[in-house]
Structure 1
C-alpha cells in the first residue's frame, strides 16, 4: 500500500495524532479509526450516519467518492431535489434559485428507499440490455465485414468475367471483320486479274495482227496487199472497239479497300471513361435496439418510495386565476406544466390555440394552431410541447419560442398524451396505449386495448407506471413495459388523470365536478374534492411537487397544496 492510499482518522488527525482509518463516514466525509467509530456511533449528531469499512469505501468508483454531502456554495445540508434542474438543493438554494421550480421533493424521503427501489434493478437491467445490444452490434458489424469481403470477391469476379466476355466478343468481331477483309480483297483481286488475262490475250492477238500486216506488206502481191489490208482492217476495227469499251469492264475501275470500325466500338475509347462504378449501399440494420418489453432505452430518475396511504391526504386551495380569454368561448381540454413552472393549456373548440401562462397567471404567450384543433398537451422541455389534435389524427411537436411546428406525426384517433424520457405516450381510440420515440419516430404499442372508446381518455405516468382512463368509468395501471398492474372501475365518469410520486392517482369524475383518489394498488378510492371546492366542468388535472392543479373547461385554474 502506498502512502497515497492510506486514509487517516479525521478525528485523530484534528488532534494531531496519526491513526489509520478503519471506517469511512460518507456524511462526515472523513475516515474513522475503531475507537473514534464507537464515539461517532453514540454521538447524537452522527449516530444515524451510515458508516462503511475502509475496504468497502475503496471499492466505490472515484466519482461516487467525490459526491458532496453538503452544498458547496452555502455549506448547508442538502434537503430537496429539483428534477427541473436535476440538482440537490439546500434551504438557501431553494430560496435563491428555485422559488419557481415545481416537482421538488425531500431527498430524505427518496434516499430511505433508494436501495430497495426498482431503480437499481432497472439500471442493472438497462446495463445488461445495453451490453447485449453492444454485443449484438459487434457481432453484426463483424458479420458485415465478412459480407463486404465476400462482396469484394464477387465484384472482382464480375469484373473479370465481364472483361473475359468483352475480350471473347471483341475477338469474335475481329475475326469476322478480318474474314470479311480477306473475302473482299479476293473479290477485287479476281476482277482485276480477269481483266489482265483478257488484256494479255488481246496483246497476243495484236502481235499476230502486226505480224500478218508486215508479212502482207512485204511479201504479198499487190492484189494480196489490197485484199489482205481490207481483211486486216476489219480485225483491227474490232480490236479498236474493244479498247474503246475497255473502261466499261468492272475490272478497269479503280478499286480499293476501306475499313470502317463501328462507332459503338470506338465509343469504348472515347465516351466510356470507366469500366463501371463502385458505390456504398446502405440499408436498415436488422438489429432492433432497446431494453425491456418496449425495447427502448430508458433513463431512470429516483423517486420517493410508493408507501404513502391516501387516507391522510388533504388538499388546501392556495391559488386561483383564469386563463387569459381568447377571441371566443374558452374550452380547456388539456394542460401541462413546464420544468420551469410555467403552465400551458389546450384551448380546443373555438379558439384553436395553446396558451402559456406564468405561475402567477399572467400571460406568457399564445400560439394559434388553426386550422388544427388542440385536444391535449404535454411538455417535452422548457420550450417544446407535443399536442394531440381532434379530427385529423395528428400529433404536432411545437416550438413555443418560434411558434412553429417542428414535426407532424400521423396517428390513429389520439386523445390524452404525456411525455416520458424521450417518448410521447398517448391514448389511441380502438387500439390502446401507443408510444413514439422522438429520436427516430419509431412507434410502439405498449398496451393493446380496444376498450378505449371514449373521446375523454387521458393518460399520465409516475415512475415506472402509466395510468389511463377508458370507456368513461375505468382507470387502468400498466408498467411502462406493458405489464398490467391493476384496474379500477367506478360508476361515475372518469376523465382527466394525474399521479403523484407515491403512485396515488388523482382522477376527475362525477361529471367533472369531483376529484377522486385511487390508492397505489388500485384497490381503494375516496373523494378528495367536490363542487363545494369550486370544481366545475373540469378536464385538465396535473400534479407537480405536492401541488395539484385543476382547470375547468372555462379556464379557471385552481391550485391546491397536497399534504
Structure 2
C-alpha cells in the first residue's frame, strides 16, 4: 500500500491505463515510454471509496472466501471417501484371500483323503500277500524238518511214500512262486503326488495379489473464483475514436526491384517480423520484413491465383486465401514452401485463425476448418467443414435487435 515507487523512490503521480498501474514521473521515461494513455493519478483515484469498484471487490472477496470454504469442505469429504474406499479395498483383499484359503484347504483335504485311501489299499494287498507267503514258507520249513527226520528213521517204504508227498508239495510251492513272478503281485506300486499344473502356475506366474489404481475424474465442484478483470475497474471509460491520436511506429523499406506492388494484407507475426502479401499481375508473393522494417526475404515467389488475405496460424505456418480458386494454402515461412492445400466450396476472401481452427469467409458464407483434422490428412485436403450462411445470420441478428428495441420501448431500463 505504499504510495511511492519502489524503483525510483518517488511519489506516484500518474496512472498508466494500458498496464493498469500507478507511476512516478521517472517511470514515464523508463518502463512506460511507449505507453500513450497516461492520466493524473488524482483524477483516477478521486471518489474511489464510493465507486462501484469497492462494492464489486467486496463481492469478489466474499465469493473467493465462499469458494475456499466450498473447496475445503469438498476436500474433507474426499478425505473421508478415500478412507472408506481404503476400508472397502482391504475388505475385498481379505475376502479374496479367505476364498483362496477355503478353496486350497478343501483341495488339500481331498488330496490327503485320496492319499490315505490309496495307501490303505496298497498296504492291505501287500499284507495279505505277505501273510500267504509266510504261511507257505512255514509249510516248507516243516517239510524240510520232516525230510531230515525221514532220512534218519523211516523205512524204505515210508521213505518212498514220504518223498512222493514232499515232491508234490514242493512242486506246488514252486508253481506258486512262478505264478507270483508272472503276475502283478510282485510289481512295485509307488505312491506319488502330481500337483495340478494350474496350481504350479499360481506359484510360478502369479507375482502380485492385485494392483491399486487411482481413477481420476473431473471434480463436480463448481465455485466462483471471482472476475479476471478486477484491476480494470480503476481505469475510467476509454476515450472515443475522436480522441485517439495515432502515431507512426515503423516504416517498411521496399527493395528497389520490388517497387511495383499491390499490398493485399500485412500481418505482424509473433516474433515481431512483418509479413506482406503482394498481389500483382495475377500472381501473389509473400515477403518477410525484419522488426526494424528492412527487407528480410521472399517467402514465396509465386502463388497460384489471386490472393486476398493471410493470417498467422501457429509455429512457422501462415494461411493464404486464393480468392475465386476456392482454395487456402498453408505456407511454412522457414522452409519457404506450401505444405498444405485446402479446397472448400466457396470463394476465399478473408481468413483468421486461433491456432486450432481456420475461419475462411466469402460474401455470403464462412467455413470453419479444424486444423488437427487437416494435419492428419493428405497434401491436397478437402476438409470436413462447417458452413455458416452469413445472410441467415444477419437476418437472425436483425430480428434479435428488433426484439430488443421492442422490449426497450415497453420497459424502463437503468
TM-score (norm 2): 0.59
Ranked by relative contact order (alpha carbons within 8 Å, sequence separation 6 or more), the top structure is 1
Q: Give the aligned partner of residue 411 of structure 2.
A: none
The separation in 1 between residues aligned to 2:299 and 2:28, in whole angstroms, is 32
Question: Are residues 1:106 and 2:106 paired?
Answer: no
From 83, 108, 111, the equivalent of 1:149 is: 83
**Runs of 5+ unmatched residues, structure 2:** 336-347, 369-385, 406-414
Q: Give the aligned partner of residue 187 of structure 1.
A: 121
1:77 positional shift: 6.3
Q: Give the aligned partner of residue 305 of structure 1.
A: 236
Q: 1:390-415: CA deviations, max 9, x gaps?
A: 799999xx9x9x99xxxxxxxxx995
Aligned length: 350
Q: Give the aligned partner of residue 79 of structure 1.
A: 14
Change in Cα spacing, 1:200 to 1:335, as seen in structure 2 (3 Å) is same
1:379-528 equivalent positions in 2, closer than 5 A = 415-416=351-352, 453=389
More helix by share: 2
The separation in 2 between residues aligned to 1:115 and 1:392, in whole angstroms, is 57
CA contact 1:113–1:305 (8 Å) conserved in 2: no
Q: 1:81-105: CA deviations, max 9, x gaps?
A: 1635x65445554345544x14533
The separation in 2 between residues aligned to 1:346 and 1:353, in whole angstroms, is 5
1:157-556 equivalent positions in 2, closer than 5 A = 157-207=91-141, 209-210=143-144, 213=147, 217=151, 220-262=154-196, 265=199, 272=206, 274-288=208-222, 297-298=228-229, 300-302=231-233, 304-306=235-237, 313=243, 321-322=251-252, 333=265, 335=267, 347=277, 350=284, 357-358=291-292, 361-362=293-294, 375-376=310-311, 415-416=351-352, 453=389
Structure 1 vs Structure 2 CA RMSD: 5.7
The separation in 2 between residues aligned to 1:365 and 1:116, in whole angstroms, is 57
CA contact 1:453–1:471 (8 Å) conserved in 2: yes
1:283 positional shift: 3.1
Change in Cα spacing, 1:94 to 1:314, as seen in structure 2 (3 Å) is closer
The separation in 2 between residues aligned to 1:220 and 1:287, in whole angstroms, is 120
CA contact 1:246–1:252 (8 Å) conserved in 2: yes
State the SS of the aligned residue for 1:187: helix
**Runs of 5+ unmatched residues, structure 1:** 1-62, 404-412, 434-449, 455-469, 477-483, 489-563
1:228 positional shift: 4.0
Change in Cα spacing, 1:156 to 1:250, as seen in structure 2 (3 Å) is same
TM-score (norm 1): 0.46
State the SS of the aligned residue for 1:147: helix
State the SS of the aligned residue for 2:237: coil
* Bigger Rg, structure 1 or 2: 2
Q: 1:299-347: CA deviations, max 9, x gaps?
A: 543464337566x558778678347579997755464698x9x675575
The separation in 1 between residues aligned to 2:236 and 2:312, in whole angstroms, is 28
